[in-house]
Amino acid sequence: MAANIRFAKITDAEAIQAIYAPIVRDTVFCFETEVPGVEEIRRRIQSTMLKYPWLVCETNDKVVGYVYASANRPRAAYQWSVEVSAYVHTKVRRSGIAKGLYTSLFEMLRLLGYFNAYAGITLPNTGSVGLHENMGFKPIGVYKSVGYKLGAWHDVGWWQLVLKEYTPDPIVPLPLNSMQYSLATRAGLPLLKI
């Protein structure tokens, strides 16, 4: 299956919402309880991409998966760390799409100046745990019974990926919107194919 990875656009909101809606509605893998509308997804893409990458994967001109980064915590000392999320359409899971998306995202995060990526995974979720550990994430802890959804309490495990070697006096990470296209060229995006 030929696939192309590129930056998300607000016109991708409907396809992204179609991938995300059943996860919100039918699973505990996301702790949102109401499916966000297409307009809300547009708003999220716009606000995220002011600072962080949001990437989509297309096959046959259709969005089949996406990843994005967001702030890990609001305090200034956390600014070199991000939280990451990946979602792939059920019909193409386990086809390498999430791996390709994450590979591109992590390279961009390194170039922007981030040192750590964190992922929270509702447990149990062997598919997501396997993906993250195959990408180099290490388990760092579990929030026990932290969320209540679909009639039960759920644990969330946390995984960390060190993106690059720690340095003294790190430079403040660059916002994505200030260098989106030059970064795309340097990182090989949207040229990455899977």
12-40: pLDDT as tens digits? 999 999 999 999 999 999 999 999 999 99
Residue bearing tokens 């192309």:
4
pLDDT at 19: 98
Dihedral sign of CA atoms 25, 3, 175, 131 in order:
positive
User: Are the C-beta atoms of 91 and 65 separated by less than 8 Å?
Assistant: no
**Is a pLDDT exceeding 80 seen at residue 138?**
yes
Is residue 66 within 8 Å of 105, Cβ to Cβ?
no
Q: Strand locations in 37-137, DSSP E? A: 54-59, 62-71, 81-88, 116-122
Handedness of CA 85, 131, 24, 123 (dihedral sign): negative
pLDDT in tens, 43-98: 999 999 999 999 999 999 999 999 999 999 999 999 999 999 999 998 888 778 99
Residue percentage of the chain with pLDDT more than 70? 91
Residue 185 has pLDDT above 80, yes or no: no
Global confidence as pTM: 0.91
Cβ burial 163-177 (10 Å sphere, 16+ → b, else e): beeeeeeeeebeebe
* Fold of the 4-167 domain: Aminopeptidase (3.40.630)
* Residue of 84, 83, 53, 54 whose CA lies nearest to 66: 54
| Three-class secondary structure of residue 95 per DSSP | coil
152 CB-near residues (< 8 Å, 6+ apart): 28
